[in-house]
């Protein structure tokens, strides 16, 4: 049976379960169970996801545990929030209801949510937020109402939440309404109000005194909408971009530290001429060539002030001509998004204060930063330089000689095909170099030789075809990204001068083989990405044998048709590997032992590996003693055997998009720690074979992801009818087995009584023989262990009482002479036989019909088969008829296979008979009849 399943065997147990369902307790256990339309976060079970399920009513969340911490209900079809909608979730702190169709919120809709801190109602159809809807939200700190139809904001409803710190009312037609209540939100820190004017002038409103971030962009404002009683507003960050400010007087009431005026028509020269209105201004963002202002004049206006950051985007400064030399106070400069063809931004005088410089997407064609041809230090303290997305074709020698303190340099997404050997010669402090997205075809060993502090080198998406040995000599390098190139070969020793590298990315190349010699020097490597190459592996290869520290290995999407074969020793040496990705490979064969070298593997992903119907060997995962996550989506799995998943540590199992029709009854026994199971998009049939799986999915502590949405495929009997597996009633097609079990048990008991009675009547001596033989045998076995066997008699003579005269005259032996008085006859006979070296049976017609003689023969035969020795001697006083031996089938087989003695009637032959008898009794290997 399934782990955790309790089959309905007793009627009163079902009654108790029914009462428990009718009378739920106040507190529900937070263990993983199957919910109707939701599923928990794998890493945090108290975080529930219900998005993208087409839910129209909130009654579907009634089965969620009351200790739910976060609930994501986005992108559904809710149109209203009824009263007490979330009353059963008192521990809820984060609630997402965005991207629904909510137009109505009833009174007390959030009753019981006294712990809620974040409420997201964006992208709905709300026209009014009711005052009394939020009375219970006393701890709310973040409220998102963007993208609704609000025309008025009655903030009094949020006065119950004295701690509200973040409010987003963007994309609402609030400009013509009243927002005077905003001043009452004394704890508000961030206010976002983009696109709220909607083609009308915004009514003045007051701002909270603790506000530090204000976003009023994209509103078409020409005046700052603060009431007369507001006075000067000290806000740290103000975004007024994409408005219609034209006069500096409109900003006279602002005291910002950061001001964004991009895409306005304001007279910046006049604005910056007197900065007394903003004594604390530190960052300014401008765009669209400010009226009556040149770069030089802007910098001169900022000189001597506290302004440390300037952002100028789309201001058409194609020929700056050293204008930025006057920005001596700036620490951060961003001139991205311009058309600077000639980057002679700086003159011979160094800018010592500048720390970061952004020149992304500026149409740069060369790297000449100074209009003086002589080499000198122009930016001595620059630590960050981004030249992303320009038109640079080559990096000349000593290109960065004027900025030797650089720690980060990005030349990403240019057109670089050549790098001078001394281009980075003075960048000894550089820790990260980005050269991705260029046209580099080859590297030279002198190019990077002076980058002693470099920790990350990114060469992704270039045109490299071969990586030669000795090119990269970077003792401090930790991360090397060579993905997206055209590498066909990596020479042995290419990584020998990278002793500390931990992350290596070789994905999306054209490598056909990975050898042990190639990776020999990567003993500290922890991450290896080989996705989308042309790799193949052969038997007896151990390509990763020296990567003892590797933690993550990606081998997915090998071209053109994936890795066809994974030999058993391909992962030898990866004893510490924790993550393995083999997705999108079409395996033709799967070795039972290919995962055996990975005892510490935790996460295994094998998605999109379908190459036809697959049946897993029972021992595939038996070596993974620490595996917790197994993903086998679209694997082609058609059958789950009883021992397919013998993984005691497994927690999450994904089997979606396979071909499973049934799940075995004992599926969960070998996975006692399983908490999440996903079997969606399988043709699970509504048949009796899945009856126990349905019961297990609904009652166990394992959460079957969206089990209530799993649909059984149509059958030939019902071609146009589909049914949910959760709603399927197995009693309609699966007969009750209780009556069958009772009938079978009754028949078995009756047959046992009949057979037992007949057997006792016909073979009670066999039963007695077996009992005494077992008892004597056990005693004999114990005696053999302690001391060698010693016989008291040479032979035990078995004869019938009618033949006693012959025995007395010829043998002078009476067997009952040595019987112990007081013992039962059977005990005496058994003990006498086992105390004799031989058993002599005098067979006559009367002997064969005697009950006691039959018992003596059977005991002797039992001893014969027990000791495997010649100890039975048969003497026929008369020739035995064939019918007389039929009831002694074992004796009959002995007579047919072995020789025996016959008592001769002729007196002259009797001496020869006695001689042969004496020989049989003294020599076991002679003519005995065993």
pLDDT of 343 reads: 62
Torsion of CA 901, 904, 908, 912, to 10 degrees: 10
pLDDT of 592 reads: 76
DSSP H or E segment with residue 678: strand 676-678
Q: Has residue 346 got a pLDDT over 60?
A: yes
Between residues 729 and 547, the one the model is more confident about: 547
270 half-sphere exposure, CB direction, 13 A CA radius: 13
Token pair belonging to 909: 């032959």
pTM for the full predicted model:
0.74
pLDDT of 319 reads: 57
Neighbour count for residue 879 (Cβ, 10 Å) = 7
622 vs 837: CA distance, rounded Å: 55
Burial of 491 per CB tally in 10 Å (0-12, 13-18, 19+): middle
pLDDT of 501 reads: 97
pLDDT of 161 reads: 64
Give the confidence band of 163 by pLDDT, cuts at 50, 70, 90: confident
Q: What angle do CA 629, 631, 635 make, to 5 degrees?
A: 155
Burial of 822 per CB tally in 10 Å (0-12, 13-18, 19+): exposed
Coil, helix or strand at residue 673: coil
Between residues 459 and 613, the one the model is more confident about: 459
pLDDT of 194 reads: 93
Q: pLDDT tens, 415-454?
A: 999 999 999 999 999 999 999 999 999 998 889 999 999 9
Query: DSSP assignment of 337-404, as one string?
Result: TS--SS---B-SS--SS--EEE-TTS-------BS-SS---SSTT--EEE-TT----EE-TTTTTT-T
683 vs 637: CA distance, rounded Å: 11
Q: pLDDT tens, 648-700?
A: 999 999 999 999 999 988 888 889 999 999 999 999 999 888 999 999 999 89
844 vs 850: CA distance, rounded Å: 10
Give the confidence band of 479 by pLDDT, cuts at 50, 70, 90: very high
Token pair belonging to 157: 């409803």
Q: Has residue 259 got a pLDDT over 50?
A: yes
Give the confidence band of 838 by pLDDT, cuts at 50, 70, 90: confident
Q: Has residue 25 got a pLDDT over 50?
A: no
Mean pLDDT value across residues 843-859: 77
Between residues 192 and 230, the one the model is more confident about: 192
Q: Please tell me which of 222-226, 233-237, 582-586 the model is most confident about, judged by mean pLDDT.
A: 582-586
Place of tokens 């740290």: 236
Question: Distance between the two ends of the chain, CA-based, in angstroms?
Answer: 51
751 vs 552: CA distance, rounded Å: 63
User: Which domains does the chain possess?
Assistant: 27-211 (3.80.10.10), 791-922 (3.40.50.10140)
| DSSP-assigned letter for residue 222 | S
pLDDT of 866 reads: 63
| DSSP-assigned letter for residue 254 | B
Burial of 753 per CB tally in 10 Å (0-12, 13-18, 19+): exposed
Q: What angle do CA 542, 499, 446 make, to 5 degrees?
A: 115
Between residues 250 and 876, the one the model is more confident about: 876
Nearest to 440, CA basis, from 418, 411, 420: 418
pLDDT of 167 reads: 94
498 vs 448: CA distance, rounded Å: 12
Q: Has residue 234 got a pLDDT over 80?
A: no
218 vs 407: CA distance, rounded Å: 36
Q: Has residue 887 got a pLDDT over 60?
A: no
Q: Has residue 473 got a pLDDT over 90?
A: yes
Coil, helix or strand at residue 284: strand
- Provide long-range contacts, Cβ within 8 A and 24+ apart, for 145-149: 145/121, 145/169, 145/172, 146/122, 146/170, 146/171, 146/172, 146/192, 146/194, 147/98, 147/122, 147/123, 147/171, 147/172, 148/121, 148/122, 148/123, 148/124, 148/172, 149/125, 149/173
144 vs 153: CA distance, rounded Å: 13
pLDDT of 55 reads: 92
> Would you mind telling me the total number of residues written for the chain in this entry?
930
Which residues have C-beta within 8 Å of that of residue 577, sequence separation ≥ 6?
550, 551, 552, 553, 571, 598, 600, 601
pLDDT over 90, % of the chain: 39
Token pair belonging to 604: 């295994």
Q: Has residue 19 got a pLDDT over 80?
A: no
The mean pLDDT value of the chain amounts to: 82
- Residue pair 201/224 in contact (Cβ under 8 Å)? The answer is no
Between residues 394 and 254, the one the model is more confident about: 394
Between residues 855 and 120, the one the model is more confident about: 120
Give the confidence band of 156 by pLDDT, cuts at 50, 70, 90: low
Q: Has residue 117 got a pLDDT over 70?
A: yes
632 vs 620: CA distance, rounded Å: 13
Q: Has residue 243 got a pLDDT over 70?
A: yes
Q: Please tell me which of 126-140, 222-236, 243-257, 411-425 the model is most confident about, judged by mean pLDDT.
A: 411-425
452 vs 427: CA distance, rounded Å: 9
566 vs 292: CA distance, rounded Å: 71
In degrees and rounded to multiples of 5, residue 310 shows phi and psi of -140, 130
Give the confidence band of 275 by pLDDT, cuts at 50, 70, 90: low
Strand 384-386 versus strand 356-358 pairing type? parallel
Buried b (16+ CB within 10 A) or exposed e, 529-567: bbbbbebebeeebbbbbbbeebbbbbbbbbeeebbeebb
Neighbour count for residue 179 (Cβ, 10 Å) = 23
185 vs 158: CA distance, rounded Å: 8
- Residue pair 70/46 in contact (Cβ under 8 Å)? The answer is yes
Which residues have C-beta within 8 Å of that of residue 725, sequence separation ≥ 6?
684, 686, 690, 694, 707, 710, 711, 712
Report H helices in 710-850.
Answer: 737-786, 804-806, 825-834, 845-848
Between residues 223 and 480, the one the model is more confident about: 480
In degrees and rounded to multiples of 5, residue 119 shows phi and psi of -130, 120
pLDDT over 70, % of the chain: 81
Token pair belonging to 606: 């094998």
Nearest to 801, CA basis, from 856, 862, 858, 872: 856
Q: Please tell me which of 321-325, 580-584, 794-798 the model is most confident about, judged by mean pLDDT.
A: 580-584
Task: Tell me how far CA of residue 184 lies from CA of 152, 161, 253, 870, in angstroms.
Answer: 16, 11, 20, 111
């Amino acid at each position: 049976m399934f782990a955790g399943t309790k089959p309905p065997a007793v009627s009163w147990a079902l009654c108790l379960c029914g009462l428990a369902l009718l009378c739920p307790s106040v507190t529900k256990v937070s263990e993983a169970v199957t919910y109707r339309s939701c599923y928990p976060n794998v890493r945090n079970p108290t975080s529930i996801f219900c998005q993208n399920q087409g839910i129209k009513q909130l009654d579907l969340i009634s089965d969620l545990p009351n200790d739910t911490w976060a609930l994501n209900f986005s992108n559904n079809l809710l149109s209203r929030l009824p009263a007490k909608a979330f009353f059963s979730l008192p521990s809820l702190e984060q609630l997402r209801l965005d991207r629904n169709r909510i137009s109505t919120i009833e009174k007390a809709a959030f009753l019981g949510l006294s712990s809620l801190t974040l409420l997201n109602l964006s992208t709905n159809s709300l026209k009014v937020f009711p005052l009394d809807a939020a009375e219970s939200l006393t701890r709310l700190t973040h409220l998102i109402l963007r993208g609704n139809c609000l025309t008025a904001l009655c903030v009094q409803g949020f006065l119950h939440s004295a701690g509200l710190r973040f409010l987003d009312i963007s994309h609402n037609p609030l400009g013509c309404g009243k927002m005077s209540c905003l001043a009452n939100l004394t704890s508000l820190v961030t206010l976002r109000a983009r696109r709220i004017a909607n083609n009308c002038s915004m009514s003045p409103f007051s701002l909270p005194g603790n506000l530090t971030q204000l976003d009023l962009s994209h509103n078409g404002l020409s005046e700052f909408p603060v009431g007369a009683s507001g006075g000067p507003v000290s806000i740290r960050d103000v975004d007024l971009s994409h408005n219609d400010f034209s006069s500096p007087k409109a900003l006279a009431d602002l005291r910002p530290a950061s001001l964004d005026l991009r895409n306005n028509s304001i007279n910046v020269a006049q604005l910056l001429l007197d900065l007394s209105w903003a004594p604390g201004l530190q960052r300014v963002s401008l765009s669209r060539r400010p009226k009556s202002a040149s770069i030089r004049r802007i910098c001169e206006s900022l000189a001597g002030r506290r302004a440390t950051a300037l952002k100028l985007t789309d201001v058409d400064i194609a020929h700056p001509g050293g204008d930025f030399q006057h920005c001596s106070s700036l620490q951060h400069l961003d001139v991205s998004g311009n058309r600077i063809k000639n980057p002679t931004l700086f003159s011979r005088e160094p800018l010592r204060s500048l720390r970061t410089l952004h020149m992304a997407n500026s149409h740069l064609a060369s790297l000449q930063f100074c209009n003086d041809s002589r080499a000198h230090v122009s930016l001595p303290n620059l630590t960050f330089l981004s030249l992303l997305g320009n038109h640079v074709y080559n990096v000349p020698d000593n290109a960065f000689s004027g900025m030797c303190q650089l720690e980060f340099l990005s030349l990403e997404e240019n057109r670089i095909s050549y790098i001078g050997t001394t281009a980075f010669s003075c960048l000894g402090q550089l820790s990260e170099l980005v050269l991705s997205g260029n046209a580099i075809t080859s590297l030279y060993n002198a190019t990077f030789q002076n980058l002693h502090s470099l920790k990350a080198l990114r060469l992704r998406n270039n045109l490299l075809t071969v990586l030669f040995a000795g090119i990269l000599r970077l003792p401090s390098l930790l991360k090397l990204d060579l993905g997206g190139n055209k590498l066909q070969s990596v020479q042995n020793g290419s990584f020998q001068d990278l002793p500390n590298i931990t992350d290596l990315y070789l994905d999306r190349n054209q490598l056909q083989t990975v050898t042990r010699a190639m990776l020999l020097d990567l003993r500290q490597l922890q991450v290896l990405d080989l996705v989308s190459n042309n790799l193949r592996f052969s038997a007896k290869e151990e390509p990763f044998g020296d990567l003892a520290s590797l933690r993550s290995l990606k081998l997915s999407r090998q071209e053109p048709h994936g890795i066809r074969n994974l030999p058993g020793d391909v992962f030898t040496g990866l004893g510490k590997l924790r993550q393995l990705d083999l997705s999108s490979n079409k395996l033709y064969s799967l070795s039972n032992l290919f995962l055996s070298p990975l005892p510490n593997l935790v996460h295994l992903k094998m998605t999109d590996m379908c190459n036809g119907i697959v049946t897993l060997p029972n021992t595939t995962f038996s070596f993974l003693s620490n595996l917790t996550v197994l993903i086998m989506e679209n694997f082609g799995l058609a059958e789950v055997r009883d021992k397919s998943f013998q993984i005691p540590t497994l927690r999450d199992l994904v089997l979606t998009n396979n071909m499973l029709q049934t799940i075995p009854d004992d599926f969960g026994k070998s996975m006692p720690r399983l908490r999440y199971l996903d079997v969606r998009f399988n043709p699970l049939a509504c048949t009796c074979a899945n009856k126990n799986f349905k019961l297990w999915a609904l009652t166990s502590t394992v959460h079957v992801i969206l089990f209530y949405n799993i649909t059984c495929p149509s059958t030939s009997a019902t071609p146009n009818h589909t049914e949910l597996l959760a709603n399927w009633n197995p009693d309609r097609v699966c007969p009750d087995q209780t009556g069958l079990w009772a009938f079978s048990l009754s028949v078995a008991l009756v047959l046992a009584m009949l057979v037992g009675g007949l057997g006792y009547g016909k073979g009670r001596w066999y039963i007695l023989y077996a009992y005494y033989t077992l008892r004597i045998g056990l005693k004999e076995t114990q005696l053999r262990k302690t001391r060698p066997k010693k016989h008291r008699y040479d032979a035990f003579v078995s004869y019938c009482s009618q033949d006693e005269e012959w025995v007395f005259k010829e043998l002078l032996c009476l067997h009952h002479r040595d019987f112990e008085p007081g013992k039962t006859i059977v005990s005496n006979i058994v003990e006498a036989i086992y105390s004799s070296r031989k058993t002599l049976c005098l067979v006559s017609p009367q002997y064969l019909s005697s009950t006691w003689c039959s018992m003596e023969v059977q005991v002797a035969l039992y001893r014969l088969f027990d000791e495997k020795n010649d100890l039975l001697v048969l003497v026929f006083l008369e020739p035995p008829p064939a019918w007389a031996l039929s009831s002694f089938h074992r004796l009959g087989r002995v007579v047919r296979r072995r020789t025996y003695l016959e008592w001769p009637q002729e007196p002259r032959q009797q001496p020869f008979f006695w001689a042969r008898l004496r020989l049989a009794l003294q020599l076991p290997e002679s003519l005995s009849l065993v």
